[in-house]
Structure 1
Amino acid sequence: MAISGAPRRIYTWIAARTPWSAWARHHTVFTVAAIPPALPALLGFTCTALAPGRSPVPLLLLLVLVLSPLLTTLQRSRFRALLGLDVPEIVRERRWWSPRGLAERLRSEATWRQYGYHLLVSPLAAAAGALVVLAWVCGAVGASVYAWCWMLPADTRTPGWTGDYDLITGAGVLLLLAAPWWAVLVARLDAFAAAALLGPNRSRELERRVEDLAESRAGVLDAADLERRRIERDLHDGAQQRLVALAMNLGIARATLPDLPPEAKAVIDEAHREAKEAIEELNNLVRGLHPAVLEDRGLDAALSGIAARAPFPVELTVDIGTRPGATVEAVAYFVVSETLANVAKHARADRCSVRVVRGPTPGGAGCRGDLLRVTVTDDGVGGADPSGGTGLVGLRKRVGSVDGTIMIDSPLGGPTVITVELPCGL
């Protein structure tokens, strides 16, 4: 009868972990392979033990310093080939044998972590590997005692010797069963130590990765901003000028051709009106991409234009001193523009105030650094919900693109206060 279900899984698990399984051989070979790379450190300890009057530190450090690159390469190869563990290599700017490369390694904490592995972990792993070999040998000898005991002299057999051999056989079998698990324990501890000591510092690598991502993101934002400016210039100098020329020609035709039939005049009037509307839409599109006044005269002038075009009174206060980066300026401009557009559409407000200041913002025990703080307040009906539409969600995404924060306080009945903080370091 075939075994199925949970019993079959248990049987398969046990069969895969017997002393004669590939699992046992695999981990045993890995632990035994730890012995050759540990020989330099073991040799240093032996020389120190034979010369107790001398300090072991100079000899050991000199030995490991010279052989550390080779030992690290051997250990990485052992973990990759026998355990499938890829220990990342530490990237160095200079070769280790050059004077500057040697000085760089002596100052690097990664080098001293590698020294710690080669001086402490590697000898312990080698000793554990030797114990694994000893366990296999003693287990095999003890479990097979009845197969070779006939070679012993007959006078060594005392009364009750079979009982003693039964105990030896049982102990040998237990050693054979325990040896693979001991090898697994040693392999896992060795792998944990190697990942922590031989590879790069994870926290430093994460910090470096975050810095690289921040730099690449800043580059992407700058490239997008430059592309928006290019499109704005192309539209302003190309399509917009053509539309202006078209509107002028249509106006001239309407003024200088009074004898045209009424139907033709109506067509010219309609074309002239649509051309002017197209120019106005294109102007709005250009301002939405990147207003030229923002680049030429700064945030104060650009926000003044937005406030003047709003359908309600806007009290504008801008106190930023030195201009922040172009990307931060653009985000602040679009935040104010989109916020005022949302107020005009949904808030039913009578007036609005916009305040833009630059400086450190208190936060707990210290401050959050150089920030551009944008506060928009309206006296509308309130109840703004970021999950209720795409306007506030778009604001969050735009502010988050430069690691900024946005806070929305909008109780029912108003007022609504939207506070945005943008780091000026970009």
Structure 2
Amino acid sequence: MDISAAPPIPWRRAPRAAVRAFWAGSTWRSLMHLVTGALVGIAGGAAIAALVATGVGGLITIIVPIIMGGILLVVNGVLTVVQRSRHTAFLGTEWPEGPFTQPVTFAPRHLLAIVKHPRTWRQLAYHAIAGIYGFLAAAFAIAAWTAGPAMVFAPLIGRESGLDPRHWILCGTGIVLTLAAPWITRGLAVLDELMARVLLGTSRAEALELRVTDLAASRDSTVDAADAERRRIERDLHDGAQQRLTSLAMNLGIARATLDDLPEEGARAIAEAHEEAKQVLTDLRDLVRGLHPAVLEDRGLDAALSAVAARSPVPVRLRVDMDRRVARDVEAVAYFVVSEALTNVARHSEAEHAAVEVSLEDGVLHLRIADDGRGGADAQAGTGLQGLSDRVRSVDGTFRITSPLGGPTEIEAELPCAS
């Protein structure tokens, strides 16, 4: 066995690590962190104590506590920014993204909302602790760096009056304290960082809230982009292919009506082409209408649903009760839900009648689509009901379906609308 290839024993590395710790950058950054922490902590603690005392002393009035509370929250925000930047500069602490302070106004309602937030009290708790811990930690660190070397020279100082065993004990203690000074400094800084992460950082609940907000914003942008793309496709088809097909169908119609001297096969070919062009044009119009109907954009949900009900092969009783238009994405979801639901009624339910009710109440758009068909509709059976549910959930809505065997089937959706 090659002994030279064996990994070094940990205790053999201890003297080298102890010596290197004296000039390691992390040691001196930790010491500067503690010294600046003492200065910021004492100043911040004194400012907070003064503001609290002034506010309590002015309880006999209303305006003084409000003003002092607002200033206290401003000071809290400033101290939080300073303390976070201090931890990042000296210890390399990384903080989660997202707002960790709130702009302060002196409106009582806004002040109350900030005061009620747990984050505010965590930050104030850290600043109160920092006023004491910062001073003590810096004092211990400075004492380790100064008292330790001084104690090492105790035998030299006591040589004139006669050496005493206590001088050698002090010397040994000084050596140990001097060697431990870098590690004491780092340990005190790490403890401060742990407290800061808990009190100045973002709690798990707040991190999840920020994540939900980011996901909601991402979803909204995706929905808006998809809606814009549908509008672009609808516009391109309407202004391009649909116009050309219309012209083609008209030309074939003219040729069919005016060319009387064609052979029977030619006349039949023109007639078939004319009918095929008209059918393709009808299909294209249905496709364009399904992408984003122009009537929905121009006249709103009431007119668009009236057109859907009029085209339905199953008689539909429509009632729309809305005193205003809602957001475009909500209108689009409501339109497609009703349109797809009526398509399912015509294809699968064997119903004789259907009813659609739309109402806007307390900022929520309520949809109800019912039919007297055979029932048994299942969202997992491939009838498009899962797609309807997904559309509704894309705007934070709720979707319910009741469809027992034998009927009737009832679909309900609630779509929140911004005021």
Fold conserved between structures, TM > 0.5: yes
Which of 152, 159, 164 lines up with 2:158 in the alignment? Answer: 152
Contact 2:318 2:356 in 1 (8 A): yes
> Is residue 397 from structure 1 mapped to residue 390 from structure 2 by the alignment?
yes
Match of 1:79 in 2: 87
The aligned runs of 1:70-219 (5 Å cut-off) are 75-85=83-93, 121-122=130-131, 124-139=133-148, 144=152, 148-153=154-159, 155=161, 157-158=163-164, 161=166, 164=169, 168=173, 172=177, 176=181, 178-190=184-196, 192-195=198-201, 210=213
How much is the aligned-residue C-alpha RMSD, in angstroms? 5.2
Task: Report the Cα distance in structure 2 between the residues aligned to 1:85 and 1:29, rounded to whole angstroms.
Answer: 15
Task: Report the Cα distance in structure 1 between the residues aligned to 2:16 and 2:337, rounded to whole angstroms.
Answer: 63
How far 1:253 sits from its partner (Å)? 1.6
The aligned runs of 1:21-420 (5 Å cut-off) are 21=21, 22=24, 24-38=27-41, 40=43, 75-85=83-93, 121-122=130-131, 124-139=133-148, 144=152, 148-153=154-159, 155=161, 157-158=163-164, 161=166, 164=169, 168=173, 172=177, 176=181, 178-190=184-196, 192-195=198-201, 210=213, 225=227, 228=230, 232=234, 235-236=237-238, 238-311=240-313, 313-325=314-326, 326-345=328-347, 347-351=348-352, 353-360=354-361, 369-378=362-371, 379-382=373-376, 384-386=378-380, 389=382, 391-410=384-403, 415-420=408-413
How far 1:267 sits from its partner (Å)? 2.3
Contact 2:43 2:131 in 1 (8 A): no
Gaps of 5+ in 2: 51-57, 59-63
Contact 1:294 1:302 in 2 (8 A): yes
Change (3 A) 1:165 1:413: farther
Change (3 A) 1:351 1:69: closer
Task: Report the Cα distance in structure 2 between the residues aligned to 1:192 and 1:170, rounded to whole angstroms.
Answer: 35
Change (3 A) 1:130 1:272: same
Task: Report the Cα distance in structure 2 between the residues aligned to 1:141 and 1:402, rounded to whole angstroms.
Answer: 71
AA of the residue aligned to 1:289 = L
Change (3 A) 1:322 1:66: closer
Q: How far does the alpha carbon of each residue in 1:124-165 deviate from its partner, in whole angstroms, 9 at most, with x for none?
A: 4233222222234445555x4xx641431454645x648855
Q: How far does the alpha carbon of each residue in 1:160-204 deviate from its partner, in whole angstroms, 9 at most, with x for none?
A: 6488559846974896565542332123324544447xxxxx969
How far 1:331 sits from its partner (Å)? 1.3
How far 1:14 sits from its partner (Å)? 8.3
Task: Report the Cα distance in structure 2 between the residues aligned to 1:415 and 1:17, rounded to whole angstroms.
Answer: 80
Contact 1:328 1:424 in 2 (8 A): yes
Task: Report the Cα distance in structure 1 between the residues aligned to 2:402 and 2:15, rounded to whole angstroms.
Answer: 64
Change (3 A) 1:134 1:354: farther
Task: Report the Cα distance in structure 2 between the residues aligned to 1:328 and 1:422, rounded to whole angstroms.
Answer: 7
Contact 1:125 1:190 in 2 (8 A): no
SS at match of 1:425: coil
Match of 2:61 in 1: none
- How many corresponding residue pairs? 385
Task: Report the Cα distance in structure 2 between the residues aligned to 1:295 and 1:190, rounded to whole angstroms.
Answer: 53
Contact 1:27 1:187 in 2 (8 A): no
How far 1:342 sits from its partner (Å)? 3.4
Change (3 A) 1:356 1:409: same
Task: Report the Cα distance in structure 1 between the residues aligned to 2:16 and 2:384, rounded to whole angstroms.
Answer: 59
Task: Report the Cα distance in structure 1 between the residues aligned to 2:264 and 2:194, rounded to whole angstroms.
Answer: 93
Task: Report the Cα distance in structure 2 between the residues aligned to 1:285 and 1:13, rounded to whole angstroms.
Answer: 76
Q: State the TM-score, normalized to the length of structure 1.
A: 0.67
Contact 1:354 1:377 in 2 (8 A): yes
SS at match of 2:351: coil
Contact 1:373 1:419 in 2 (8 A): yes
SS at match of 2:37: coil
Structure 1 stretch 68-77 or stretch 293-302: which is displaced more? 68-77
Q: State the TM-score, normalized to the length of structure 2.
A: 0.68
SS at match of 1:79: helix
Contact 2:230 2:292 in 1 (8 A): yes
SS at match of 2:384: helix
AA of the residue aligned to 2:93 = L
Change (3 A) 1:317 1:260: closer
Task: Report the Cα distance in structure 1 between the residues aligned to 2:341 and 2:194, rounded to whole angstroms.
Answer: 57
Q: How far does the alpha carbon of each residue in 1:302-322 deviate from its partner, in whole angstroms, 9 at most, with x for none?
A: 3343334334x3443423231
Q: How far does the alpha carbon of each residue in 1:334-392 deviate from its partner, in whole angstroms, 9 at most, with x for none?
A: 111122333444x44334634323244xxxxxxxx421111233433525134x54833
Contact 2:396 2:415 in 1 (8 A): yes
SS at match of 2:374: coil
Task: Report the Cα distance in structure 1 between the residues aligned to 2:277 and 2:199, rounded to whole angstroms.
Answer: 73
